[in-house]
Amino acid sequence: MRKIVSLLAICFIAVNLNGQNEKHEKQIETLYEHALNKGKAYDWLNHLSNKIGGRLSGSLNAERAVLWGEDELGSLGLDRVFLQDVMVPKWVRGTFEYASIITGPGMSTNVPVCALGGSIATPSSGLRANVVEVKSFEELEALGEEKVKGKFVFFNRPMPADLINTFEAYSKTVNQRSQGAARAARLGAVGVIVRSMNLRLDDYPHTGNMSYGDLPNSMRIPAAAISTNGAQLLSSMLTLNDKLNFYLKLDCKNFPDVPSHNVIGEIKGSEFPEEIIVVGGHLDSWDLGDGSHDDGAGIVQSMEVLRLFKSLNYKPKRTIRVVLYMNEENGLRGGSAYAKYAKQNNENHIFALESDAGGFSPRGFVFEATDQQFNQIKQWKSYFEPYMADRFELGGSGADIGPLRDGKVVLSGLRPDSQRYFDFHHAANDTFDAINKRELELGAAAMSSLVYLVDQNGF
């Protein structure tokens, strides 16, 4: 008899689990159907990219984006929409940036450059000097002050092409951009030129953040990115004539911090309102393009998660919050302020999801989680298999949600196909036409599905 009862219990659990699975499968199917047939992400991005445009922290456009985000979230019938104050850095590119390679009197070739975010300007008449090319900081240090002083240092280590994950290739080269100026300045360089973080050969210089660290103001030198084609040209001209001159003129300027905002919206949980699931991207972008991939895509995908829930009349058990973080690119002030707010209010965040890797075809998610948590998450893989978004890995999730990390909350990042991302990243061609509607929507659907599963199951 006991055996029969046990058997019945097992059957009941199995049937029940099966019923759960089917319910989840059905809900996820519905989320995908709506995202692909009646999605709003693409229209939203069209507005953000084409009606607002690039939105660097501290700019008028960034504030227009804040108001737009507040407005659009306000129209969704959420339980709460509010702005969180945050002070952000203000750096302005100025009206003019220009460079040329000068090989003799009247012999010069223009090359596409842009100031790196945070760089100081050149003197108003520009800066002209010899160039020394290096591939690494080790090479730079080996040259020493004698060979560097009074020159431009040209950092020309390309992103390695044979790494399948292009973000890995990025991480292997980006220190040239972020620390190059500080390193070169200590050896007496007058400026730095950095090969763009781009796997493709083209004419777009890619900007991005740089830091002088603790370098005194008096020692700071201007820093510019050069397009990959420009870098190839400069390098080959240097092999012909290492006495050539590089001319650089930058107009950029740092200002004191200015006020800005995170934009936050939420649906209150019906069963466990104190358990918070947060989804987001960053609302600021660099200024050269309109930031469609970085990170307009993440913004509209995150908003779409809550819109889909509302429009499908799905009532979450837990509180679902969307955060449009301000100032990921050059300060991370929004992400830090949000984590501080959460801590101050003793909020219990159980899951944070970020989309900040472009609006490309989703391949899966990356997680920062304990073994136990990740074991639970891996059981959901099969739900994503029909949608080809079932690559689940452990790894770094997203910059804005990083400050929430406390060993308990699960952090996650959407992982779209990475092959094309650095063709556009931080460059003038990161524009709306580089976005594929379906790919954007598939990302939003995958995010919605993951948030749904966390909401249903908790951790």
Residue numbers of the site for a second copy (CB under 8 A)?
32-33, 36-37, 161-162, 164, 166, 199-200, 361, 363, 386-388, 391, 417, 419-420, 423, 436-439, 442
Is 328 a residue of the active site? yes
d(CA 80, CA 5): 48
Of 97, 133, 304, 328, the active-site residue reads 328
Beta bridge partners of 280: 323, 354
> Comparing C-alpha atoms, which of 123, 131, 283 is closest to residue 195?
131
Cα 425 to chain centroid, rounded: 9
Whole-angstrom CA distances from 165 to 47, 55, 177, 365 are 30, 28, 20, 13
- Between 104 and 386, CB nearer to a second copy: 386
Could you give the residue ranges of the DSSP H alpha helices within 75-129? none
Q: Which residues of 343-356 are buried (b: 16+ CB within 10 A; e: fewer)?
A: eeeebebbbbbbbb
d(CA 448, CA 29): 11
Q: Residue 196: helix, strand or coil by DSSP?
A: coil
- Between 122 and 166, CB nearer to a second copy: 166
What is the CB-side half-sphere exposure of residue 271 using CA atoms within 13 A?
Answer: 8
| Nearest approach, Cβ of residue 195 and a second copy (Å) | 17
Whose structure tokens read 């998450």? 377
| Nearest approach, Cβ of residue 33 and a second copy (Å) | 5
d(CA 248, CA 141): 24
Q: Residue 448: helix, strand or coil by DSSP?
A: helix
d(CA 294, CA 440): 12
- Between 59 and 449, CB nearer to a second copy: 449
CB atoms within 10 A of CB 10: 10
| Nearest approach, Cβ of residue 30 and a second copy (Å) | 10
Report the residue count for the chain: 459
- Between 34 and 55, CB nearer to a second copy: 34
| Nearest approach, Cβ of residue 168 and a second copy (Å) | 11
Say how many Å lie between the first and final Cα of the chain, rounded. 36
CB atoms within 10 A of CB 6: 10
d(CA 305, CA 445): 7
| Nearest approach, Cβ of residue 60 and a second copy (Å) | 32
| Nearest approach, Cβ of residue 417 and a second copy (Å) | 5
Strands 80-92 vs 253-267: parallel, antiparallel or unpaired: antiparallel
| Nearest approach, Cβ of residue 130 and a second copy (Å) | 31
Which residues are catalytic, by number? 328
